[in-house]
């Protein structure tokens, strides 16, 4: 008999209609009460950690979730976390870094429609998540709309549809139909039962999306206020260097000890700083290339890395080292380590 722990955090899945719209309002026991009878033998326990709209999710809450899983790790065979969809990708990525050497599944799920509504995706998503938590797999995954996604590859691409999430720059792990799991990728199995908890985080990071006309002075504020910045550049990693030249300001950030990560505004395929002149001008400095990571993983990984070191060489090395399938090293370009 599989022992599964359900951790609830609120979100749409646990929402009810209030005077000002949907708001989280039902408990972990309520959620379980809406589920159909289990078709397979399992023992499901539940704990309510928080009951918030995921817009209000914070790094301190990631620590609480990770700490709870760590404390209960030896008591259960798998873990399911119900979560709001808006920041689900950030939470699944953060847990992928905080919980190292997992030998059991940690599954994050949610819904686009509350579980109490007649037409809802919540029951299917929860049952699929519980089903996958019974598998002999290790690591953090999101289960949504019948698809299984690596925790560091989860991106919300739709705001209303049931198929709200995609696996970006990485294949889907599996899909679930009823009680059957059909694997699309081989998943390594970790036989060790010694999970490592590492929740040191520095949330003092900034995400800057470039646009035509952005002024260099914004970097002066970043230099005074943050320890790291993620720059969502153009295309393969292009940064403007004519008229409004941003390169000098970026170099000043690095000289001031600020970690600078370059990613792209493009959803697919990642960066290649060696392809164009505008990228090569950057790569000569201690710039951190994000490769084909998504912003959700980049932000949480940078917080996690900065929680351990201020040494920019070490920050660059750790950020550019794959963890939990967050980064694929590309041949014949600047990402080869």
Does 336 fall in a domain?
no
Please indicate, yes or no, whether residues 150 and 16 belong to a single structural domain of this protein. Answer: yes
Range 2-18 average pLDDT: 95
Of the candidates 12, 109, 263, 295, the residue annotated as catalytic is: 12
pLDDT digit string, tens, across residues 66-118: 999 999 999 999 999 999 999 999 999 999 999 999 999 999 999 999 999 99
Encoding tokens for residue 266?
Answer: 């493009």
**Chosen domain end from 129, 164, 197:** 197
Rounded mean pLDDT, 113-133: 96
Q: Say if residue 127 is in the same domain as residue 265.
A: no
pLDDT at residue 333 in the model: 42
CATH number at residue 157: 3.40.50.1170
Under the banding of pLDDT at 50, 70 and 90, the label for residue 186 is confident
The mean pLDDT value for 61-68 works out to 98
Examine the domain organization and report whether 152 and 214 are in the same domain.
Answer: no
Identify which of 41, 30, 154, 143 has the alpha carbon closest to the alpha carbon of residue 90. Answer: 154
Q: Is residue 335 part of a domain?
A: no
Length of the chain measured in residues: 337
Percent of the chain having pLDDT more than 70?
A: 93
Residues 58 and 145 placed together within one structural domain of the fold: yes
Average pLDDT over residues 147-175: 97
Mean pLDDT of 285-314: 94
- For residue 177, the cross-strand partners are 180
211 in a structural domain: yes
Average pLDDT over residues 185-190: 84
- Which of the residue ranges 183-197, 244-258, 277-291, 292-306 has the most confident prediction, judged by mean pLDDT? 292-306
pLDDT of residue 123: 97
Residue 264 has pLDDT above 90, yes or no: yes
Which of 147, 172, 197 represents a domain boundary (last residue)? 197
Same domain (yes/no): 164, 242: no
pLDDT at 239 over 80: yes
Looking at the structure of the chain, the number of domains it has is 2
Task: Report the DSSP beta bridge partners of residue 44.
Answer: 4
Angle at 212 between CA 215 and CA 277, to 5 degrees: 95
Residue 329 lies in a domain: no
Model confidence at 273: pLDDT above 60: yes
Asked whether residue 141 falls in the same domain as residue 36, the answer is yes
Please check whether residue 147 lies inside any domain of the structure. Answer: yes
Q: Looking at residue 279, which CATH number applies to its domain?
A: 3.40.50.40
Q: How confident is the model at residue 41 (pLDDT cuts 50, 70, 90)?
A: confident
Q: Are residues 81 and 184 in the same domain?
A: yes
Residues 178 and 244 in one domain: no
Out of 162, 197, 232, a domain closes at: 197
More confident residue, 192 or 300: 300
Shared-domain flag, residues 168 and 258: no
**Whole-number Å distance between alpha carbons of 135 and 143:** 13
Which is more confident, 319 or 280? 319
* Over residues 304-319, mean pLDDT: 96
Q: Give the chain's radius of gyration (CA, Å).
A: 21
Averaged pLDDT for residues 275-294: 71
- Rounded to whole angstroms, the Cα distance separating 91 from 8 reads 13
User: Per-residue pLDDT for 121 more than 70?
Assistant: yes
- Look at residue 219 and tell me if it is in a domain: yes
> pLDDT band at 19, cuts 50/70/90?
confident
Task: Tell me the pairing of strands 196-197 and 288-289.
Answer: unpaired
Residue 283 belongs to what domain range? 205-319
Q: Say yes or no: 295 and 238 in one domain.
A: yes
Environment class of 63 (CB within 10 Å of its CB; exposed 0-12, middle 13-18, buried 19+)? middle
Q: Is residue 165 part of a domain?
A: yes
Q: Is 331 domain-assigned?
A: no
Q: Are residues 115 and 6 both part of a single domain?
A: yes
The structure tokens listed for 38 are 């289990």
Residues 292 and 255 in one domain: yes
Residue 334 reports pLDDT greater than 80: no
Quote the percentage of the chain above a pLDDT of 90: 78
295 given a catalytic annotation = no
pLDDT higher for 90 or 245?
90
Structure confidence by residue, pLDDT tens digits, 221-232: 999 999 999 999
């Amino acid at each position: 008999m599989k022992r599964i722990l359900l951790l609830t955090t609120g979100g749409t899945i646990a929402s009810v209609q209030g005077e000002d719209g949907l708001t989280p309002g039902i408990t972990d026991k309520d959620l379980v009460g809406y589920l159909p009878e289990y078709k397979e033998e399992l023992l499901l326990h539940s704990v309510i950690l928080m009951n918030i709209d995921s817009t209000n999710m914070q790094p301190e809450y990631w620590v609480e979730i990770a700490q709870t899983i760590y404390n209960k790790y030896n008591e259960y065979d798998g873990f399911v976390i119900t979560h709001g969809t808006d920041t689900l990708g950030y939470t699944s990525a953060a847990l992928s870094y905080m919980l190292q050497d997992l030998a059991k599944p940690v599954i994050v799920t949610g819904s686009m429609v509350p579980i109490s509504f007649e037409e809802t995706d919540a029951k299917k998503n929860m049952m699929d998540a519980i089903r996958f938590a019974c598998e002999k797999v290790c690591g953090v995954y999101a289960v949504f709309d019948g698809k299984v996604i690596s925790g560091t590859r989860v991106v919300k691409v739709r705001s209303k549809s049931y198929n709200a999430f995609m696996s970006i720059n990485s294949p889907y792990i599996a899909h679930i139909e009823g009680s059957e799991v059909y694997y699309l990728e081989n998943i390594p199995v970790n036989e060790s039962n010694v999970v490592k908890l590492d929740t040191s985080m520095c949330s003092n990071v900034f995400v800057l999306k470039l646009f035509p006309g952005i002024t260099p002075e914004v970097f002066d504020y970043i230099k005074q206020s943050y320890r790291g910045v993620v720059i969502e550049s153009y295309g393969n990693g292009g940064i403007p260097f004519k008229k409004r030249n941003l390169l000098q300001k970026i170099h000043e950030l690095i000289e001031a000890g600020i970690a600078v990560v370059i990613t792209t505004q493009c959803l697919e395929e990642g960066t290649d700083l060696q392809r164009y002149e505008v990228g090569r001008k950057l790569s000569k400095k201690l710039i951190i290339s994000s490769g084909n990571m998504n912003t959700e993983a980049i932000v949480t990984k940078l917080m996690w890395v900065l929680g351990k070191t201020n040494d920019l060489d070490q920050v660059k090395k750790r950020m550019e080292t794959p963890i939990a399938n967050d980064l694929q090293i590309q041949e014949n370009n600047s990402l080869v380590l």
